[in-house]
Amino acid sequence: MLLQGVRIEPVRLELARPLKTARATYTVREGFRLWVEDEEGRVGQGEAMPLPEFGTESLSKCERVLRLLVGVSRLSFIHESLGGMEWVRRFLSPVHAPAARHAIELALLDLLAQRKRVPLCRLLNPKARVWVRVNALLTANEPEALAEEARESYAEGFWTLKLKVAGRPIEEDEARVRAVREAVGRSGKLRLDANGGWSEQEAAQALERLVPYQPELCEQPVPAEDVEALARLQLRTPFPLAADEALVSPEHLRALLETASGEPAVRIVVLKPMVLGGLLPALEMAQQAAKAGVYSYVTSSLDGVVSRAGAAHLAAALPSGHLASGLGVGKLFVREEPAVHPYQLTDGRIRIPEAPGLGLPV
């Protein structure tokens, strides 16, 4: 298969209101949309939305690498005799720009799945699931507003609600968590995300105070580089901890699975395809984690709909799908890109389209 045409366009998505995390406050997301066309007129789509503070390259480097890769790929054949996906893996293996790599990989996998006339998730895993359950990300700051947002999300079918913590006094976080728990009762799942914003001592104190509110899990309570602290916290915390920012490469996964205690540092790993360099590296990490008894789920990096579509296919292909994925961020943007697409949320879930590839309109 020869790639005949390639197009790159900048993407700018504005958030309806600022989103505060322990690392930064976001008002806009910028990146690039990619289209590649094969000799039979099929079009594969990809997207690069770098997030440097989470481990990707800068926006300027992303563009440079993306245009370089596009120039090379236009002259390349995707050798289906190698299984297609293996060729993609080999072609992109030297690339050290995760967001650019993600865009090229996604576009090529979209094309390959179209050629094989299967949804992309079935290319990744023939036994992929049809539905992907999604959590709601709560963005309000004050307890009363959070409670109202939680009630609305739960009524829309989101059984898992995610709340950002850390970066403020624990008393304030506890009040916010309490408000959400009281708003949805005990049947709703409450997911916390500290974005590495606590020290080990602060995390230990905070997690102990939050146990009565029955969190489903807490993402990245301590800085990404402190894996042993993460392991110590997991041993003393009755609910699962999840590694998010701590997982940016296969080497980091190995460190999480092989700690000094002999046990994995966490019970869950969070897969961000944009940060990990694509769907294939993320799926391989999920499979390795599963062998060690560690579950996984997929989240976006505040990405556009093309990236979220790829992430939904990855989530459907994971070894286990019992944890909700973090793909319900489209409503956070002022304007969806594009406005109509087959990945709209229904009852807190995404139904994977039956169309070949990503199934997105071009």
Answer yes or no: are the C-beta atoms of 159 and 189 closer than 8 Å.
yes
Residues 6 or more apart whose Cβ sits within 8 Å of residue 168: none
Task: Give the percent of the chain with pLDDT over 70.
Answer: 94
> Three-class SS of residue 2?
strand
Q: How confident is the model at residue 1 (pLDDT cuts 50, 70, 90)?
A: low
Q: What are phi and psi of 13, to 5 degrees?
A: -115, 120
In the numeric block, the tokens 């999300």 are attached to 153
As given in the structure block, the two tokens for residue 88 are 């993609």
- Which one-letter amino acid corresponds to residue 10? P
Alpha carbon of 299 to those of 180, 271, 307, 312, 323: distances in Å? 21, 6, 10, 9, 11
Express each pLDDT in 142-177 by its tens digit: 999 999 999 999 999 999 999 999 989 999 999 999
Q: How confident is the model at residue 2 (pLDDT cuts 50, 70, 90)?
A: low
Calculate the average pLDDT of the chain.
91
Burial class (CB in 10 A: 0-12, 13-18, 19+), 260: exposed
Of 39-53, 65-79, 243-257, minimum mean pLDDT range? 65-79
- Across the strands, what pairs with 53? none
Express each pLDDT in 87-142 by its tens digit: 888 878 888 899 999 999 999 999 999 999 999 999 999 999 999 999 999 989 99
More confident residue, 248 or 73: 248
- Across the strands, what pairs with 326? 299
pLDDT of 82 higher than 70 = no
Cis peptide before 361 (omega within 30 of 0): no
Residues 6 or more apart whose Cβ sits within 8 Å of residue 351: 130, 131
Alpha carbon of 30 to those of 48, 60, 62, 63, 299: distances in Å? 9, 11, 11, 11, 18
Write b or e for each residue in 87-103: b if 16 or more Cβ atoms lie within 10 A of its Cβ, otherwise e. Answer: bbbebbeebebbbbbbb
Q: Per-residue DSSP letters for 234-291?
A: HHH-SS-EEESTT-SSHHHHHHHHS-TTSS-S-SEEEE-HHHHTSHHHHHHHHHHHHH
Of 17-21, 44-48, 99-103, 251-255, minimum mean pLDDT range? 17-21
Answer yes or no: are the C-beta atoms of 18 and 82 closer than 8 Å.
no
Q: Helix %, strand %, coil % for the chain, to 5?
A: 40, 25, 35
Catalytic center residues: 164, 272
Distance of CA 12 to the CA centre of its chain: 19
- Given this model, what pLDDT does residue 23 score? 67
In the numeric block, the tokens 């994971």 are attached to 318
Task: Give the percent of the chain with pLDDT over 90.
Answer: 75
Element (H, E) at 172: helix 170-184
Range 333-343 average pLDDT: 77
- Given this model, what pLDDT does residue 8 score? 93
Among 107, 128, 110, CA closest to 357: 110
Range 65-92 average pLDDT: 71
